[in-house]
Amino acid sequence: EQLGLAENRLRGPIPLKLFNSSTVRVISLADNDLSGELPSTIGAFLPNLEELYLDGNEFSGTVLASISNASRLRILSIGMNHFTGAIPHSLGNMRLLEYLGIWQNNFSEDSLSKELSFIISLSNCKHLRRLWIDDNPLNGFLPKSIGNLSSSLESIYATSCGIISEIPSSIGNLSNLIGLDFA
């Protein structure tokens, strides 16, 4: 049910077989030297996955929408890698998500309007408590609907993201917010 290989010196790509288990609940591969792209089927064969820790590696490429097929995911921690592209809107389909940590990557915003629309999709995640997106070149506007995020939300860290808007007044709706950092 648990695969814990964090804080080692593991290198190279992740063997696909690690992402093909119907019983695994926790995968922790954080703080290694793993590289390559995430498999396109990452969420398809992990129906019971609740926690995924891939932070502190050398992963690259995009995070595919298929990750949201792991519908029981509560923790997604993929910070400190080299992921690029847009943050998938399908993350909003992970309704049990409590922590989304995608800090220190190279994610950007795709939309022509420059609105950080992935935030809108996260309003479906009613258990979201921590949103850490700092150190990504998002260079966009906060949506006015940011106040529709989970009332459980405790922290938003978005430093060094190139956010180019005012802080919407709707952020006052986040009554449990104790950490807000856009510096």
For 58-107, write each residue's pLDDT tens digit.
Answer: 999 998 888 898 999 999 999 999 999 999 999 999 999 999 999 999 99
- pTM of the shown model: 0.94
pLDDT tens per residue, range 152-182: 999 999 999 999 888 899 999 999 999 999 8
3-state SS class at 136: coil
Token pair in block for residue 166? 């005012």
Give pLDDT, residue 41.
81
pLDDT at 64: 81
Contact (CB, 8 A) for 127 and 150:
yes
pLDDT surpasses 90 at 6: yes
Nearest to 155 by CA among 183, 132, 171, 123: 132
- Asked if 110 and 136 touch (Cβ cutoff 8 Å), the reply is no
Cβ neighbors of 4 (< 8 A, separation 6 or more) are 26, 28
